Amino acid sequence: MSERRVVITGMGCISPLGNDLETTWEGLKAGRSGIARITQLDPEPFDCKIAGEVKDFNADGYFNVPKDARRADRYVQFAVAASKMALEDSGVDVEQTDRRRFGVMVGSGIGGLSTLEREHESYLNKGPKRVSPFTIPMMISNIASGIVSMEHGLYGPNMGIVTACATSNNNIGEAWRIIKFGDADIFLAGGAEAAILPMGLAGFANMKALSTRNDDPEHASRPFDMDRDGFVMGEGAAVIVIEELEHAKKRGAKIYAELVGYGVSADAHHLSAPTPDGSGPAFAIEMALKHGKINANEVDYLNAHATSTGLGDIAETKAIKLAFGEYATHGLVVSSTKSMTGHMLGAAGGIELIASVLAIRDSIIPPTINVENQDPLCDLDVVPNVAREKSVKIALSNGFGFGGHNAAVLVRSFE
């Protein structure tokens, strides 16, 4: 693979902790939970009545034509908003950029579920003629990437990889690979999700995947804790600008960090359960380290996928031990920001890579909150409850999805 170096020059996000980058980061550093009782629908019929909702969001100001916002599914609105923020943060002038070499890879794990639910109800109540002609283009999981490219006139590689909760990691990693290969110079990459809806809630709840700590929502998402009882759904989007180093330097861009490694693998094991021995994710981690020419004991911080599920947190702990050896429990610092955001599904890897990059920038590792009785089978340094000041030069972000998809992204301080 080419030695072209790839750097992160812009970041944008919408999350349960805030509708911009710094508000979200302040919430993560403070150990603030974004989980509360669901307000977007009546949660009473559902076993799980809590989620990490995006609050007070208005999409109009993020679209070139305000009416286009109303023709976009909520997940697409989030994607467009986060992409615009990332572009503005990067300072890139699209007019002065070769747009054929400017790509977009913004995916979604589930896609336009709100559109599907609404239009299916129209079909049942009013018949097929009353289904919106916008149903299919609003609903499909690739349309966020397509609309972001349309909003900014970007003609480069455009796709949305769908790998459930590894979606953001794969979109960012494959964009990195395309730049390394020489087929593009700059990308908007990440993920978006908005599935806090009746079908989303019922589907996950009936798998027994969701927490039912309904009377104490802020303490419901508790990765690595003995009393975890499932994950909490979150929503939002996270998009980063990545570009080839010389391209960034030529325009005088600020550089957050260098993206140096990316690993992918499959569990080939089960629809939703992880490989019990952690071997699948371990292989992805090892591949990312190999790409980055990084020794395992050089990684300062690992933002874990850790969703707060019984099987998942233990399997990831085993994966980390397989990949890092003795260093996993003697030096490596690990935390799960899902304890605060909930599980943002297809957007999770994006927000977690952003947290990893900001840990490098600010020398602060966000905590895993709600660790009151740490599971002895998850015997890692998980930064319980309070953020930690620590110099971070190299960080890794894990993302794993239903279907056995594993993806790890490695970043380091830019030198």
Q: Which residues are catalytic, by number?
A: 165, 305, 343
Which residue has 């002609």 as its token pair?
133
| One-letter identity of residue 61 | G
363: exposed, middle or buried (C-beta count within 10 Å: 0-12, 13-18, 19+)? middle
Q: Which two tokens stand for residue 310?
A: 């019984």
3-state SS track over 33-56: CCCEECCCCCCCCCCCCEEECCCC
Give dist(CA 95, CA 36) in Å, integer: 42
288: exposed, middle or buried (C-beta count within 10 Å: 0-12, 13-18, 19+)? buried
- Residue 12's region, left for phi above 0, alpha for psi from -120 to 50, else beta, is beta
Coil, strand, or helix at residue 402? coil
Give dist(CA 13, CA 9) in Å, integer: 14
Count helices and strands in the chain by DSSP H and E runs: 13, 14
Helix (H) or strand (E) run with residue 232 in it: none
CA atoms within 13 A on the CB side of 179: 33
Q: Which two tokens stand for residue 281?
A: 């994710």
Give dist(CA 201, CA 48) in Å, integer: 7
Q: Are 389 and 236 in contact (CB under 8 A)?
A: no
Q: Which two tokens stand for residue 190?
A: 């990440």
Give dist(CA 386, CA 367) in Å, integer: 5
Count of other CB atoms within 10 angstroms of residue 73: 27
Q: Are 190 and 239 in contact (CB under 8 A)?
A: yes
216: exposed, middle or buried (C-beta count within 10 Å: 0-12, 13-18, 19+)? exposed
